[in-house]
């Protein structure tokens, strides 16, 4: 039996068409598809993706295709690698045209949703304003949630009801499921601290709307019908949590993507009054939807709990928590992982803020209690006049919010594990260069060097004038 099953799998794999090859022609075809739909893309959200939006599709082993507006003399295709294009995407890539977004497609069949998602974040930075001062922090103290297993089960129940709403073809029935979802959400929120609710709403507002636009735009350029969009969002809602992700990240960041996208789609579906304007002004998505359609009754809540077996969902949550790793939630615990750390602190006047580039990526990012973001293994790139840092496959601590502004000064700080012996040639006001596996660091002249137990802090400050 096993041999026959193996033969079946082999024949199925043999019959599958090979994945299309990503080459120069494929990159150009992807860019042309975006450009052909530029006018329709510009109408997705007022002010987002102008007709000549500059963008770059880039594959390091092939080259880069420049789409939309580009600097005179810039070729359509440039072979080879681009300097500074270290990540999957780069906002405001220095192409010579402001506001250029760069993406490294995953293949010739990449739907480019990440391109549109990330550029929407860039649009949010200037066009959106969150109505509350709360919610921007990454860390949520799970101990502040009285019944964590019940909280997780309630989130799962809400997700299933929201998924059912998106898949429901009948408009009145769909609206009633959305009302039931809102009633479930109200019941779950009754005993939660305000700061927990604020984080959830802010993530849905920022990540959820970007996810909605990313999926909507990718469907548009692929020629898929509008009716296919809610099914795509529903599939994302059905995806289980990632086992290698911290519980805080999964509950309060990654779930916000499909949940926020679903709420955004429902706002459009029910025709909420000027909903895009209100979202841009900072209205939480669930609040705006509730103002538009109301919410269900206690009977609706009970019926949903029975239909989707809330008791079983809570049993699954209890089992998961019993096997969940403790994780690192404090700066002290994170720094205990190495005997010595390098702290790079870079300050600049606000007027020179754009001269500093700090980018980081990792499969997992853990928010810590003091607001920093811990990367167990990832990539960090920091560049500024007089400084160039690239760290790969290494732990890192990023101070958050990134680019703190105080008294007209922008400050960035990155902490990396580095043996003290590697810094023995470091001197203030002198150039320093370090090249080793996974780390490249160039400093023209450090302004200040502080030695502490297990830590070396290097401070650099850009002057007011270049």
User: Could you read off the pLDDT of 299-332 as tens digits, one per residue?
Assistant: 999 999 999 999 999 999 999 888 877 667 788 8
Kindly state whether residue 12 falls inside one of the protein's structural domains.
no
Q: Which domain-ending residue is among 127, 151, 168? A: 127
| 92-141 pLDDT, tens digit each | 898 999 999 999 999 999 999 999 999 999 999 889 998 765 555 666 77
Kindly state whether residue 249 falls inside one of the protein's structural domains.
yes
> Is there a single domain that holds both residue 107 and residue 159?
no
Kindly state whether residue 18 falls inside one of the protein's structural domains.
no
Band (390; pLDDT cuts 50, 70, 90):
very high
| 14-34 pLDDT, tens digit each | 334 455 789 999 999 999 999
Q: What is the pLDDT of residue 8?
A: 29
Q: What is the pLDDT of residue 21?
A: 83
> Is there a single domain that holds both residue 206 and residue 223?
yes
Say what the pTM is: 0.81
Domain that holds residue 318: 142-323
> Is there a single domain that holds both residue 108 and residue 220?
no
> Is there a single domain that holds both residue 68 and residue 160?
no
Q: What is the pLDDT of residue 91?
A: 86
pLDDT over 50 (residue 9) = no
Cα separation values, 352 from 219, 227, 304, 384, 462, Å: 38, 46, 54, 10, 8
Pull the structure tokens for residue 27: 């990159």
The fraction of the chain above a pLDDT of 70, given in percent, is 91
DSSP character for 184? H
Q: Which domain-ending residue is among 63, 94, 127? A: 127
93 SS3 class: coil
Q: Which domain-ending residue is among 99, 127, 155? A: 127
Kindly state whether residue 11 falls inside one of the protein's structural domains.
no
pLDDT over 50 (residue 438) = yes
| 214-226 pLDDT, tens digit each | 999 999 999 999 8
pLDDT over 50 (residue 177) = yes
Band (248; pLDDT cuts 50, 70, 90):
confident
> Is there a single domain that holds both residue 202 and residue 318?
yes
> Is there a single domain that holds both residue 380 and residue 408?
yes
Q: What is the pLDDT of residue 423?
A: 92
Cα separation values, 446 from 13, 302, 385, 421, 449, Å: 57, 64, 12, 18, 7
Kindly state whether residue 19 falls inside one of the protein's structural domains.
no
> Is there a single domain that holds both residue 74 and residue 212?
no
Q: What is the pLDDT of residue 17?
A: 47
Band (401; pLDDT cuts 50, 70, 90):
low
Average pLDDT, the chain: 88
Residue with the bigger pLDDT between 180 and 367: it is 180
pLDDT over 80 (residue 11) = no
> Is there a single domain that holds both residue 159 and residue 280?
yes
> Is there a single domain that holds both residue 90 and residue 122?
yes
> Is there a single domain that holds both residue 164 and residue 256?
yes
> Is there a single domain that holds both residue 309 and residue 429?
no
Kindly state whether residue 408 falls inside one of the protein's structural domains.
yes
The fraction of the chain above a pLDDT of 90, given in percent, is 64
Q: What does the pLDDT average to over 435-439?
A: 93
Q: How many domains does the chain have?
A: 3
Band (399; pLDDT cuts 50, 70, 90):
confident
Q: How crowded is residue 264: how many other Cβ atoms within 10 Å of its Cβ?
A: 27
> Is there a single domain that holds both residue 350 and residue 418?
yes
341 SS3 class: strand
Kindly state whether residue 8 falls inside one of the protein's structural domains.
no
């Amino acid at each position: 039996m096993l041999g026959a099953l193996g033969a079946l799998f082999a024949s199925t794999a043999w019959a599958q068409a090979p994945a299309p090859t990503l080459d120069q022609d494929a990159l150009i075809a992807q860019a042309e598809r975006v450009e052909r739909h530029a006018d329709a893309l510009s109408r997705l959200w007022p002010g987002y993706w102008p007709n000549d939006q500059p963008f770059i599709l880039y594959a390091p082993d092939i080259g880069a295709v420049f789409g939309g507006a580009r600097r005179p003399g810039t070729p359509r295709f440039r072979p080879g690698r681009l300097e500074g294009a270290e990540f999957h995407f780069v906002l405001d890539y220095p192409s010579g045209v402001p506001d250029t977004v760069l993406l490294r497609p995953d293949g010739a069949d990449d739907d480019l949703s990440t391109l549109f998602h990330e550029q929407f974040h860039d649009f949010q930075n200037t066009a959106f304003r969150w109505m509350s001062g709360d919610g921007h922090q990454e860390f949520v103290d799970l101990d502040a949630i009285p019944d964590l297993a019940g909280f997780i089960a309630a989130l799962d129940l809400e997700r299933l009801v929201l998924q059912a709403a998106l898949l429901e073809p009948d408009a009145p029935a769909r609206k009633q499921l959305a009302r039931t979802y809102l009633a479930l959400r109200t019941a779950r929120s009754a005993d939660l601290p305000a700061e927990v609710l604020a984080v959830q709403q802010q993530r849905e507002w920022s990540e959820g709307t970007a996810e909605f636009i990313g999926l909507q735009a990718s469907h548009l350029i692929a020629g898929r019908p509008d009716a296919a969009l809610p099914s795509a969002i529903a599939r994302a809602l059905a995806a289980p949590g990632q086992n290698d992700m911290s519980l805080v990240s999964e509950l309060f960041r990654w779930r916000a993507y499909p949940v926020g996208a679903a709420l955004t789609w429902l706002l459009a579906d029910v025709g909420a009054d000027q909903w895009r304007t209100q979202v841009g002004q900072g209205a939480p998505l669930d609040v705006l939807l509730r103002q538009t359609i109301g919410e269900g009754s206690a009977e609706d809540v009970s019926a949903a709990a029975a239909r989707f077996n809330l008791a079983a969902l809570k049993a699954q949550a209890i089992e998961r928590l019993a096997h969940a790793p403790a994780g690192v939630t404090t700066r002290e615990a994170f720094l205990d992982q190495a005997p010595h750390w390098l702290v790079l602190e870079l300050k600049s006047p606000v007027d020179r803020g754009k001269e500093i580039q700090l980018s980081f990526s990792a499969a997992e990012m853990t928010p810590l209690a003091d607001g920093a973001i811990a990367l167990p293994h990832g990539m960090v790139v920091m560049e500024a006049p007089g400084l160039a840092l690239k760290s790969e496959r290494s732990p890192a601590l990023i101070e958050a919010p990134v680019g703190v502004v105080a008294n007209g000064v922008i400050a960035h700080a990155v902490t990396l594990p580095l043996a003290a012996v590697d810094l023995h040639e470091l001197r203030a006001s002198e150039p320093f260069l370090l090249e080793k596996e996974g780390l490249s660091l160039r400093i023209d002249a450090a302004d200040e060097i502080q030695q502490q137990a297990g830590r070396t802090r290097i401070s650099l400050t850009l002057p007011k004038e270049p």
